[in-house]
Amino acid sequence: MKKFSTVALVLAFAAASHVHAASDADPARSARCAFLPNAPDQHKVVRGDTLWDISGKFLQHPWCWPQVWGMNREEIRNPHWIYPGQIVYFDRAAGRLRLGKPVGDKGGMPTVRLSPQVRTEGLGQQAIRSIPSQIIEPFLSQPLIVEEHELQNAPRIIAAEEGRVNVGKDDRIYVRGDLQAGTAFQVFRPGSPLKDPITQKIIGYESAYLGSVKLQRAARTNDEAHVFTVVSIKQEMGANDRLLPMPPTPIINYVPHPPEQPVDASIVSIYGGVTHAGQNQIVTINRGRNQGIDVGTVLELYRYGPIITDPTQGSSYWSRSANRVKLPDQQYGNLFIFRVFNNISYGLIMQVTDTVKVGDVAKSPE
């Protein structure tokens, strides 16, 4: 997959003076965010670590890290960074994780500076990420889901330079449609409709990203075409491909959290058109911002338990039909939502013990 410009994923950490922000008095929260029985006393951060991986060394549910760091919503807005060389300490007495560097050793536990390292200049290229950023970079800037009304009104390519069927980088293309004063656009090809696996209704169209173009000369009359130059190309462009304005580069606080209201979603598709997926692959679900999903939402993946006939309750037809039993749904992984549309969201598959299939369940953590 082609690599796009690096998207900074802003991580937020609370300083030790703010650890009271997440209350220890909440039994449900404490039970959900339990530490592993064999959790280590400390972990030294190394290049290539992710916050999810580090938290998985200490917690039964790695996505609970904002709570055990004692974060609140206001603190999440301020970018604090964790860098290679720092040490994450497990404060067993307080049930918290601390971040610092050893500043002395008098024979016992090291003295720890309990404030994270804060960088105020730049975006910290060496800072670790919350999730594997290189996997989702292209999905942050491409118009993956397009509503039906957007397809009808988007500017369209009508011809290529010198009658070419397809174009490449630095070639000219000719476009008709209302640019709405825009100068930088992405080009896409309308794709197949995505259907809700439960209702079978169309909930969006997954577009194929083709590249980006820049306006060279706007049309001077209504019957003249706009002239564009191809800036980058991923797939060949041609007549009737559509243009959408270039979105701003996203800078997002990827702070994992359960949804604020109960969610019971289904896997709609696996990116790339395959039928099965595993860890670090991308899937869509049939829930979006209209259903309360936002960036950072964590869902648990389940497979529906089959319905069987209880073999211990007789063998007649009537006894078999009267003793059908549904086996419990099987929880086998986690899904991290990183991009949200109206009725569809994209998620990164985190830890899984089984393959993910279209139609599997993604619901609120229990």
Least Cα distance to 205 among 267, 289, 284, 265 occurs for 284
CA distances from 248 to 6, 74, 186, 225, 337 (A): 13, 24, 12, 26, 20
**Do the beta carbons of residue 227 and residue 169 sit within 8 Å?**
no
Report CA torsion sign: 278, 5, 337, 87: positive
Report CA torsion sign: 161, 166, 172, 176: positive
Report CA torsion sign: 10, 15, 19, 21: negative
Describe the strand order of the beta sheet including 87-91 as a list of residue ranges: 42-44, 87-91, 96-100
Same domain, 182 and 125: no
Residue at 3 is within a domain: no
Sorting pLDDT into bands at 50, 70 and 90, what band is 32? low
Residue at 2 is within a domain: no
pLDDT of residue 28: 36
Give 253 or 219, the one with higher predicted confidence. 219
Residue at 139 is within a domain: no
pLDDT at residue 214 is higher than 90: yes
Residue at 359 is within a domain: yes
Which residues constitute the domain of residue 295?
257-363
pLDDT of residue 125: 56
Segment 197-212, tens digit of pLDDT? 888 888 888 888 889 9
Residue at 204 is within a domain: yes
Tokens 């825009």 label which residue?
182
Residue at 60 is within a domain: yes
Segment 265-275, tens digit of pLDDT? 999 988 877 78
pLDDT of residue 246: 86
d(CA 269, CA 86): 39
pLDDT of residue 326: 86
Segment 333-366, tens digit of pLDDT? 999 998 898 899 999 998 788 999 999 999 998 7
Q: How many CB atoms lie within 10 A of CB 259?
A: 20
Q: Calculate ∠ Cα 16-19-23, nearest 5°.
A: 175
pLDDT of residue 320: 56
Same domain, 359 and 267: yes
d(CA 173, CA 161): 6
Number of domains in the chain: 3
Sorting pLDDT into bands at 50, 70 and 90, what band is 252? low
pLDDT of residue 335: 93
d(CA 94, CA 92): 6
Tokens 């990420």 label which residue?
129
Same domain, 44 and 100: yes
Give 220 or 2, the one with higher predicted confidence. 220
**Do the beta carbons of residue 175 and residue 155 sit within 8 Å?**
yes
Segment 73-122, tens digit of pLDDT? 444 444 446 778 888 888 888 888 877 665 544 444 444 443 433 333 33
d(CA 277, CA 300): 15
pLDDT at residue 71 is higher than 70: no
pLDDT of residue 34: 87
Sorting pLDDT into bands at 50, 70 and 90, what band is 236? confident
End-of-domain residue from the set 133, 159, 192: 133
First to last CA, the chain: 35
Segment 127-140, tens digit of pLDDT? 666 676 667 776 77
Burial letters for 311-348: b for 16+ Cβ neighbours within 10 Å, e otherwise? eeeeeeeeeeeeeeeeeeeebbbbbbbbbbbebbbbbb
d(CA 363, CA 366): 9
pLDDT of residue 148: 67
Residue at 23 is within a domain: yes
